[in-house]
Amino acid sequence: MLAELLHPERVRVGLKLSDKEAALRAIASLLTMPEGIANEEIIYDVLLDRERLASTGIGSGVAIPHGRYDGVNELRAAVALCPAGVDFDAVDRLPVRIVVGIVGPRSMPQKHLAALAGVSRVLRNDEKRKALLKAVDNAEAYRTLVEP
């Protein structure tokens, strides 16, 4: 699932994020990559609007901010790794170290839900999360995410 949504340029390791807003801004920026055609500020607003409904911090150090935006023509994901962790109001109250953003057009609600479920399933695996957080660079993190 992630291999279909993720581009190597949308994965970053070692980010220093001060708070949830900084994390959402980082993900919004990554979601515009590599072509830069989507509007970063609108993506940020879409993610923030969803976050205001309830935290997307799903626990175990993972958050999956997401939303629908017609400025993209396909479902896409981005990953930001923040080893120090950031307060995301997660369900387990633990700091979030893995942020996976998902955005897609409004015309793909079923694919959007399937992507959320797929990402959640991948990141429920303790070994996958540990390997991801040990990645020394963006390329290694990308491979960790897309390899079975």
- Write the pLDDT tens digit of every residue in 14-26: 999 999 999 999 9
- State both tokens at 66: 């997401």
Of the chain, the percentage scoring pLDDT greater than 70 comes to 100
Asked if pLDDT for residue 1 goes beyond 80, the answer is no
- The residue-averaged pLDDT of 80-97 equals 96
The residues spanned by each domain of the chain are: 2-146
The arrangement of secondary structure in 2-146, i.e. its CATH architecture, is 3-Layer(aba) Sandwich (3.40)
Beta bridge partners of 68: 104
> CB atoms < 10 A from the CB of 52, how many?
8
pLDDT score at 35: 85
For 4, the enclosing helix (H) or strand (E) is helix 2-5
Classify each residue of 84-95 as buried b or exposed e, where b means 16 or more C-beta atoms within 10 Å of its C-beta: eebbbebeeeee
